[in-house]
Amino acid sequence: MSTDVTLTLVVNGRRRRVRVPPMKRLLDVLRQDLGLTGAKEGCGEGECGACSVLVDGLSVCSCLVPAVQAEGAKIVTIEGLARGRRLSALQQAFIDLGGAQCGICTPGMLITASELLRRCRGRVPSDPEVREALAGNLCRCTGYQKIVDAVRAAARSAATRREGRR
Amino acid sequence: MFSYAACAVEVECDLDTGETRVLKVTTAHDIGTVIHPVLAAGQIEGGIVQGLGWALLEDVRWKDGRVWNHQLTNYIIPTSSDTPPIDVEMVEVAFDGGPFGAKGVGELPMDVPAPAVVAAIAHATGRRVSEIPVSPERLLQALSERA
């Protein structure tokens, strides 16, 4: 007799149905049941932010969210930031400015940065403001400099203002 | 064949809590010809921040031959909030013996921040701490000695 539950999640704009143990981590549901391996397990204890996804617009550590808690939520993963093959302004800025080295923190950084830019509504956040917003996403490679530069560059770019939400 | 680096930091020390904040980092590196400026600067920025972590936050604790603080919860590495803007200058002098005039950059950036931070703390407080990381406890200890 299975103790699994059937859950419906809206992931990157699509309704997805999964049958999983109720306390399975959202991170594992995304990676294993939905094949969305963009979110990474950096620590498994909510410290590093490599597993960050947007849940109803807020960047959260998916390693800390039990599947049942995500029922009915609107989830956006790194795979959902681009529109088809068109990268978001943030993604393009990271490429242009060298904001990624090994890339493990990058999905989480982009998720948290996209929440920040949406909150800013077209305003360019200050350097300290970006650093504080990203404080929950650890990076060991870059020293954060080019990540912060990329986030502010994306905020400045016309494409971001045109796109509105990203 | 040697690569060279210099680093200056500006710090602010809280004499009540023993906390040190790094306000600014400026570093100059001579790594020969810089083949890829963005990647090279990125490597330096990353190494500088690792060095700042070593200087102020990262303390490996051992117990019975094992690392006691082996999680990110208890081994503290710098966040973006702990990290100031970093100014990287390249002193570019082509080196005959290297490919396209390049030398090496990999591990060099980590060597300079900790001595710079200790020197800056000494400049700010008059106390030269002899162990890193200069945790709040260690700085408060140093401040309470030889008044």
| Phi, then psi, of A60 in degrees rounded to 5 | -130, 160
- Tell me: the pLDDT tens digits for B6-31? 999 999 999 999 999 999 999 999 99
Structure token pair of residue A98? 């060298």
Q: Which of B47, B72, B80 sits opposite A43 (nearest CB)?
A: B72
Q: 3-class DSSP state for residue B34?
A: coil
If you measure CA to CA, which chain A residue comes closest to B37? A98
Q: A35 to chain B, minimum CA–CA distance in Å?
A: 27
A51/B contact by beta carbon, under 8 A: no
Contact in structure between B125 and B15 (CB atoms under 8 Å): yes
- Tell me: the pLDDT tens digits for A8-30? 999 999 999 999 999 999 999 99
Alpha helices per DSSP H over chain B: 37-56, 113-125, 136-144
Q: Residue A165: its pLDDT value, please? A: 54
User: Distance between CA atoms of A155 and A159, rounded to whole angstroms?
Assistant: 9
A104/B contact by beta carbon, under 8 A: no
**Is a pLDDT exceeding 60 seen at residue A42?**
yes
User: Distance between CA atoms of B108 and B48, rounded to whole angstroms?
Assistant: 9
**Is a pLDDT exceeding 80 seen at residue A1?**
no
- Residues lower than pLDDT 50 in chain B: none
Structure token pair of residue A4? 């699994």
From the number of C-beta atoms within 10 Å of its C-beta (0-12, 13-18, 19+), residue A105 rates as buried
User: Distance between CA atoms of B139 and A69, rounded to whole angstroms?
Assistant: 44
Average pLDDT over residues A139-147: 98
Is there a contact between A142 and B41 if contact means CB atoms under 8 Å apart?
no
Q: A65 to chain B, minimum CA–CA distance in Å?
A: 18
Q: A5 to chain B, minimum CA–CA distance in Å?
A: 32
- For residue B31, count other CB atoms closer than 10 A to its CB: 26
**Is a pLDDT exceeding 90 seen at residue A163?**
no
Judging contacts by C-beta atoms under 8 Å, the chain B residues touching residue A47 are 71-73
Judging contacts by C-beta atoms under 8 Å, the chain A residues touching residue B77 are 138, 140
Is there a contact between A101 and B42 if contact means CB atoms under 8 Å apart?
yes
Q: Residue B146: its pLDDT value, please? A: 67
The size of the A-B interface in CB pairs under 8 A is 74
Strand order in the sheet with A58-61: A14-20, A5-11, A74-76, A52-55, A58-61
* Triad A78, A79, A85: Cα angle to 5°: 120
Question: Among all residues of B, which ones are annotated catalytic?
Answer: 107
| Phi, then psi, of A4 in degrees rounded to 5 | -65, 155
Q: Residue B1: its pLDDT value, please? A: 86
What is the 8-class DSSP label of residue A109?
Answer: H
Structure token pair of residue A106? 């990058």
User: Distance between CA atoms of B30 and B39, rounded to whole angstroms?
Assistant: 15
If you measure CA to CA, which chain B residue comes closest to A129? B81
A134/B contact by beta carbon, under 8 A: yes
| Phi, then psi, of A95 in degrees rounded to 5 | -65, -50
pTM over 0.90: yes
pLDDT band at residue A70 using 50, 70 and 90 as cut-offs: very high
Judging contacts by C-beta atoms under 8 Å, the chain A residues touching residue B49 are 143-144
User: B interface toward A at CB cutoff 8 Å?
Assistant: 38-39, 41-50, 71-73, 77, 79-83, 85-86
Contact in structure between B127 and B143 (CB atoms under 8 Å): yes
- Tell me: the pLDDT tens digits for B124-137? 999 999 999 999 99
Q: Residue B147: its pLDDT value, please? A: 56
Alpha helices per DSSP H over B24-94: 37-56
Q: Residue A164: its pLDDT value, please? A: 58
Q: Residue B99: its pLDDT value, please? A: 96
- Tell me: the pLDDT tens digits for A108-140? 999 999 999 999 998 999 999 999 999 999 999
